[in-house]
Amino acid sequence: MARTRTDLIDQDPHGGGSRHATLEYVIGRRVRELRGRLNLTLAELASAADLSPGMLSKIENGGTSPSLATLQRLADALAVPVTALFRGYGEQSDAIHVKAGQGLKIERRGTRAGHQYQLLGHTVEGPVVVEPYLITLSAESDVFPTFQHEGRELLYILEGIVLYRHGDRTFRLEPGDSLLFDSLAPHGPEVLIDLPIRFICVISYARNA
């Protein structure tokens, strides 16, 4: 499971595809975004910042490097600190690349023989934890595992047929079917109809839960 760090990449507004965000582009995007939040026209913001509409348009399109004095006037007109105009520049985002067959095999509570869990990645920052698994059920079990935990869960069936219980309801899940549910209710496979069964399971919950 390889974790990489990537520079912020944005779409080129001139149709040139993706590119590393320049400082001018990030400032322009932020100005346009903040102007939109205030429902200001380009002319209204230009007037409030003592700029010509043409100059403001050039700034919003990333076509010029505004001076610090100009940035301060824009920030004042938008009622934000000047540092808000730089947000997004030089930031990095997490990306986790898992090659086929290299997901971390783990033991989850309730795991039985013939029930394999492969962790395909995990979030290490932010308020929400996301855990994607590739689950393979290849053999019957005397007792099927039942789970209860915080958050939400999404199942997407790749192969096989399973009767899956959530609370007091059961769902027949076949390839291409999905099931999204509240994970606090007891849930788990109830009848393995057509083995082997393979499905993607994505669990998300608040990090402080």
CATH number at residue 158: 2.60.120.10
- pTM for this entry: 0.56
Number of domain units in the chain: 2
Burial of residue 162 (number of CB atoms within 10 Å: 0-12, 13-18, 19+):
buried
Instruction: Point out the domain boundary residue: 86, 118, 143.
Output: 86
Tokens 């730089």 locate to 86
Tens-digit pLDDT profile for residues 53-92: 999 999 999 888 888 789 889 988 998 888 888 776 655 5
**Domain membership of residue 66 as a residue range:** 2-86
Q: How far apart, in whole angstroms, are the C-alpha atoms of residue 64 and residue 70?
A: 12
157 shares a domain with 81: no
What tokens appear for 41 in the block?
């026209």
Coil, strand or helix at 70: helix
Q: How many CB atoms lie within 10 A of CB 137?
A: 21
User: Is 103 in the same domain as 73?
Assistant: no
Query: Helices marked H in the chain — which ranges?
Result: 23-37, 42-48, 53-60, 68-78
10 Å Cβ neighbour count for 73? 17
Looking at the structure, do residues 110 and 57 belong to the same domain, yes or no? no
Query: Do 79 and 103 reside in the same domain of the chain?
Result: no
13 and 45 in a common domain: yes
According to DSSP, the residues that pair with 147 across neighbouring strands are: 187
Classify residue 91: in a domain, yes or no.
Answer: no
pLDDT tens-digit profile of 19-37? 445 778 888 999 999 999 8
